[in-house]
A and B are shown apart, each in its own frame.
Chain A
């Protein structure tokens, strides 16, 4: 019996080590970053004027779940950028593992889809690691409070990846509406199926 207990403990420990990073959760202070957008310019959150916060979306060109949510992310930007919360999409995938996620392909995607939001390349994967993103899509809603970026929501855009019209919980919108009204975010974290971030090998 002791042996099995030890085994399962070892298993848990291994799992904890393997997931390694701790993930930002509501209430944490998020760090800013400096990443290249599809025009080749460097973008930092603190340099974006007139924003009360951000919808940071770990994103990519290739994941079918991202594709399902593509229009919904564009709609979020169209609706909430004027209200102070623009979308900042970040592709953390290693192009050596996922060739469709290179910076050149990001440019193509942004042009083809007419992205009105910033689409940034997390080439070193440092931002994804720091935020604790595990998959694409993975949404972090941040709000400026006393000069700090406070994490207000982490998770999915809504509760139906397959069909936007069938989603009866729009988590991201609910969180943003609460923030804009100056209220507490009711659901501050959700989990959803997505594509594993393609980490650099070795």
Chain B
């Protein structure tokens, strides 16, 4: 058992440099592997008294490599706080900003997300800046939000709000917003355009609003 803890710690330290999810996976893996196998393989890996690798050690190495490769393609996510939200809201650039507030736990948000993803591609380089601000709980970023983005192949600019003292910033987005999601804010500060949409959007409605405020 001591060896199991030691190998867990070592792997956590090493793998965290690459990707924390990988470390969790390896840790989880260990608890599915019988004690004697882990003990044998860890002795072989760390004490190097025997040069021949067991099948199990080989398997672990392959998994480490595979995990490392997958971590390169995994979606990274920008975490923001109130200061960064402020920065977005006062952005002086002459672009139509479309800022959607959503979460993976909110079914209507998940329904409309593909429309934002689709139109963000359609309007690429056409003066529209999409920012999708996730309000997923900070404890669910790694195990829920990032896998969700990977699975749904979301390539749009997603940022996650980590300040959950909601009352301290909701009003900055709009005076009428009571905290329900989804909501979407359209603005172009250079042109003094600002429109807060207090509910979900259909694809046609989203396109219509973009066209309207892009003029």
Q: Given that A19-B176, A159-B166 are known contacts, is A8 also in contact with B198, CB under 8 Å in the complex?
A: no
Q: Does A5 contact B (CB under 8 A)?
A: yes
Q: Are B178 and A23 in contact (CB under 8 A)?
A: yes
Q: Given that A23-B178, A162-B137, A191-B179 are known contacts, is A14 also in contact with B166, CB under 8 Å in the complex?
A: no
Q: Are B166 and A15 in contact (CB under 8 A)?
A: no
Q: Are A193 and B199 in contact (CB under 8 A)?
A: no
A197 and B178 CA atoms in complex are apart in Å by 11
Q: Are B177 and A195 in contact (CB under 8 A)?
A: no
Q: Given that A7-B213, A18-B199, A19-B198 are known contacts, is A195 also in contact with B106, CB under 8 Å in the complex?
A: yes
Q: Given that A7-B213, A191-B170, A192-B170 are known contacts, is A197 also in contact with B180, CB under 8 Å in the complex?
A: yes
Q: Given that A135-B179, A159-B165, A162-B164 are known contacts, is A15 also in contact with B197, CB under 8 Å in the complex?
A: yes
Q: Are B194 and A8 in contact (CB under 8 A)?
A: yes
User: B180 — which chain A residues lie within 8 A by C-beta?
Assistant: 134-135, 194-197
A6 and B212 CA atoms in complex are apart in Å by 12
Give A16's nearest chain B residue, CB to CB: B176
CB distance from A154 to the nearest CB of B (A): 9
User: A193 — which chain B residues lie within 8 A by C-beta?
Assistant: 103, 135, 164, 166, 170, 179, 181
A5 and B176 CA atoms in complex are apart in Å by 19
CB distance from B35 to the nearest CB of A (A): 35
Q: Does B191 contact A (CB under 8 A)?
A: yes
Across the interface, A64 reaches (CB within 8 A) one of B105, B174, B179, namely B105
A195 and B105 CA atoms in complex are apart in Å by 9
On chain B, the number of residues with a Cβ less than 8 Å from chain A's Cβ atoms is 37
Dominant secondary structure of chain A at its interface with chain B: mixed
Q: Are A135 and B164 in contact (CB under 8 A)?
A: no
Q: Are B195 and A195 in contact (CB under 8 A)?
A: no
Which residues, 122 to 150 on A, are CB-close (under 8 Å) to B? Answer: 134-135, 138
User: A14 — which chain B residues lie within 8 A by C-beta?
Assistant: 195
A101 and B105 CA atoms in complex are apart in Å by 16
Chain A interface size band reads 35 or more
Q: Are A159 and B198 in contact (CB under 8 A)?
A: no
Across the interface, B167 reaches (CB within 8 A) one of A18, A68, A135, A156, namely A156
A194 and B180 CA atoms in complex are apart in Å by 5
Q: Are A134 and B193 in contact (CB under 8 A)?
A: no
Which residues, 172 to 195 on B, are CB-close (under 8 Å) to A? Answer: 174, 176-182, 186, 191-195
Q: Are A192 and B198 in contact (CB under 8 A)?
A: no
A191 and B138 CA atoms in complex are apart in Å by 19
Give A133's nearest chain B residue, CB to CB: B178
Q: Are B165 and A8 in contact (CB under 8 A)?
A: no
Which residues, 118 to 140 on B, are CB-close (under 8 Å) to A? Answer: 135, 137-139
CB distance from A61 to the nearest CB of B (A): 14
Selected A-B contacts with CB under 8 Å, 5 pairs? A7-B193, A18-B198, A159-B167, A161-B166, A191-B179
Residues of A at under 8 Å CB distance from B? Answer: 1, 3-5, 7-8, 11-12, 14-16, 18-19, 23, 64-65, 68, 134-135, 138, 155-156, 159-163, 169, 171, 190-197
